[in-house]
Amino acid sequence: MLENIISELEKQFQLEAVDHNSSDLVFLTIDRDHAVMAIDLLKWKFGYKHFVLLTAVDFLEEGKFQLTYILNNPDTKTDIGVRVRIDREDANMVSAHHLWPTVATYQRELKEMFGIDFPGSPRLNDPFILEGWEGTPPYRRDFDTKAFAASFYHQREGRTTNDPATYMKEKLYPNE
């Protein structure tokens, strides 16, 4: 079943990689400009109408983001993961909110957490989880969590222990 769909896709798009995870889950990589068209085809022609998730994976050392769209066909009970590699420096992708309204929420989160732009996606720049965030988007791998925590939060001093008898004496009768 999945082999037929992949061979159909290969006729229309150049698939950069196809990885069979199991008999009912396959991941394939398509170039940025054709990915949403392939997703459109998978939804309307091949019945992958359940949009499972959209997320990004940061391959910092390669200078790339991988966007993964997982689509499910509830009739054939199979899943296809569509992977797209985009440049980290110019991180933008064609929006897919016209296919499922709920995709806009995922894209809004990716804009905030990874700094990936989806031109035309509704309410893309509205704060989602963070409010008033400036600087490197926090889910990028080059975001220094330790430095952020050190600069943003007040560092508490460590605990001190006192001898109870001496402590109470000094507290209650400081002049004696």
Partner 1 sequence: MSKKEFFPMDGDRTKYPEIKSDGTADIDLSSHKYIKLWHGPNHPGITGNMAVELTLCGDEVVEGITHVGYLHRGFEKLMERRKYIQNFPLVCRIAVPEPDYNEYNYATCIENLTGIDVPEKGMWLRTLTLEMARLQGFLMWIGGMAGAIGFGTVGQWANYCRDLVLDRFEELTGGRIYHIYILPGGVRNDIPEGFKDRMEKNLREIEGFMKDIRRAFFDNYVFKKRSVGVGYIDPAWVFDYGIVGPNARAAGFKHDIRKNYPYAKYAELDFEITTAKDSDIYTRAFLRFEELLKDIDLIRQILDKMPEKGDHISKVSNMMNLKIPAGETYVRSECTRGEYGYYLVADGSEYPRRVNVRGPSYTHGVALLEKMLVNVNIADVAQLMVSLHTYPPEIER
State the Rg of the chain over Cα.
Answer: 25
Q: Is 22 in the site for partner 1 (CB under 8 A)?
A: yes
25 vs 94, beta carbon nearer partner 1? 25
Least Cβ distance, residue 72 to partner 1 (angstroms): 9
Q: Is 76 in the site for partner 1 (CB under 8 A)?
A: no
**Per-residue x/- mask for partner 1, residues 23 to 62, rule CB under 8 A?**
--x-x---------------------xxxxx-xxxxx---
Contact with partner 1 (CB under 8 A): which of 7, 12, 14, 102? 102
Q: Is 17 in the site for partner 1 (CB under 8 A)?
A: no
Q: Is 21 in the site for partner 1 (CB under 8 A)?
A: yes
